[in-house]
Chains A and B, each alone.
Chain A
Amino acid sequence: MEYHEKTPIVDARKYKVGDVIYITGNVILARDEAHKKLLEEGAPLELKGSVIYHCGPVVTKKNGEWKVIAAGPTTSIRMEIFEDEFIARFHPAIIVGKGGMGERTLKALKEHGAVYAAYTGGCGALAAERIKGVKEVHFLDELGIPEAVWVFNVEEFGPLVVAMDSHGNSIYDDVDEKAKKNLNNVLKEID
């Protein structure tokens, strides 16, 4: 299935592994330090039904206005230590990043009806093209540009491929299992 959605997202349980989502509305950036900060101090903005993006962007200021130069995903597994608590507390609908997350997050997605979607690694220019502006930014002074909580206004932001859904499915587990079998066959071939 392909979805073209507007934020906030009301029902993320309908998304299944393999579905492709394009987002119009707001995407909220949070990586390592932002997760920590929001969990410690609470969120200065509404996160229910939000799209959370693991990303450390390249942003510059020209004539007093922010310009997003490149904003591809960062490796999500680093946020595994925070994400289950983050989901339980703030109820985002879609977590976007690259490389997938672990069992703790998968469990939280199931419990709270959210999904993890992969944005293609390295696609910083494509992402920037779909980002129409900076709506607001939080913790910029404390955390700096790559770690701040940016709210980007986006149009048709994607393709976001649902890689872990709220029904306990993870594409990474499937691929890993198949790759392990393939590896054993290849190793036998070498002998």
Chain B
Amino acid sequence: MGDCMIDEIVEAIRRAETQLSEDTVKALKDAYERETNDMAKTQLKAIIENFTVAHTESLPMCQDTGLQTFFIEVGYDFPMMKDLRGAIVEAVRRATKEVPLRPNAVHPFLHKNSGDNTGRYVPYLHWELKEGDDATIHVIPKGGGSENMSGLYMLPPGVGIKGIKKTVIEHIFRSGGKPCPPTIIGVGIGGGADLALTLAKKAAILRPIGSRHEESFVAELEDELYEMANKLGIGPMGMGGDTTVLDVHVDYAHRHPATLPLGIVTQCWANRRRKVHIDSSGKVEVF
């Protein structure tokens, strides 16, 4: 049972690294069609050629194969709970050799690279409990260049939604070409500092491009931020153009009366994600 689970998680990592998510493929191709700036068109064309080669040759689409990150939704009655962590860590070790992945786990004090993408708290596993007896593992290797363009702003609550909009747009402006645009921006509002960033990361990566929040006032904010970000003219790779972001996704939590945390997470165009579903009988499927 454990072996089959490990095999499928390795496969999910391989697909995440070598096959760009379908919604992102479509968004990038649409951006190429729409683009009016020649320089930007050259960049988008190279990106499209690149993920096409990666897919057909089964090569990682970027040499930064990311920090191996997993968001896991697990049912209260899932019977293989105790095997899950070990299976994911082992899958990361194997994927490092088999895909292959760049070793991206460095000891911050000793500067030593572990060589297999594992180490203290890494791969990073984020757990959420839910009803049911199955588990879903979101496989989301995250690049370092775009992660560097994350931000946490503890705003005075008085600035309101207007202040949030300004901060997000200024953040995208300051990021410029550094996070490999066109990017997907995740915005988390409220909760505490950590929750705002977690909501932002989930919004950026787990939600399909083009999807909108179920509450209309959040959906409207997403539309507005998307339009405004693309008016900046930073463009693909910061060399100018119409497409700076592929989308902006927002989520929120209730906040403490004295705080207005705003978390921003930037995802590069290499929006790598796959899902592994495991049912209570141990049947494993990769999406």
Of B67-75, B80-88, B161-169, the one with at least 4 CB within 8 A of chain A: B161-169
Within 8 A of B (CB), among A40-83: 55-58, 60, 69-72, 75
CA distance A99 to B238 in the complex (A): 7
List, in ascending order, chain B residues with CB within 8 A of A171's CB: 39, 239-240
- Beta-carbon contact of B51 and A125 below 8 Å: yes
Chain A contributes a number of interface residues (CB within 8 A of B) equal to 46
List, in ascending order, chain A residues with CB within 8 A of B170's CB: 183, 187
Chain B contributes a number of interface residues (CB within 8 A of A) equal to 49
The verdict on B268 contacting chain A, using a C-beta distance below 8 Å, is yes
The verdict on B176 contacting chain A, using a C-beta distance below 8 Å, is yes
CA distance A59 to B50 in the complex (A): 18
- Beta-carbon contact of B63 and A124 below 8 Å: yes
- Beta-carbon contact of B240 and A98 below 8 Å: no
- Beta-carbon contact of A60 and B100 below 8 Å: yes
- Beta-carbon contact of B233 and A190 below 8 Å: no
List, in ascending order, chain A residues with CB within 8 A of B49's CB: 123, 126
Interface code B176-194, partner A: CB below 8 Å = 1, 0 otherwise?
Answer: 1110100000000000000
Tell me how far the C-beta of A72 lies from the nearest C-beta in chain B, rounded to whole angstroms.
5
Within 8 A of A (CB), among B116-174: 143, 145, 162, 165-166, 169-170, 173
Contact flag A179-B178 (CB < 8 Å), given A72-B62, A124-B62: no
Within 8 A of A (CB), among B33-86: 38-39, 42-43, 45-47, 49-51, 53-54, 57, 59-65
Contact flag A18-B39 (CB < 8 Å), given A70-B60, A100-B238, A172-B238: yes
B232 contact from A121, A161, A172, A182, Cβ within 8 A: A182
List, in ascending order, chain B residues with CB within 8 A of A71's CB: 63
The verdict on A106 contacting chain B, using a C-beta distance below 8 Å, is no
Tell me how far the C-beta of B231 lies from the nearest C-beta in chain A, rounded to whole angstroms.
6
- Beta-carbon contact of B63 and A175 below 8 Å: no
The verdict on B237 contacting chain A, using a C-beta distance below 8 Å, is yes
List, in ascending order, chain A residues with CB within 8 A of B248's CB: none
Tell me how far the C-beta of A109 lies from the nearest C-beta in chain B, rounded to whole angstroms.
17
- The 5 A-B residue pairs whose C-beta atoms are closest, nearest first, are A125-B54, A70-B63, A126-B50, A124-B63, A120-B46
Write the residues of chain B forming the contact surface with A, with a CB cutoff of 8 angstroms: 38-39, 42-43, 45-47, 49-51, 53-54, 57, 59-65, 100-102, 143, 145, 162, 165-166, 169-170, 173, 176-178, 180, 228, 231-240, 268-270
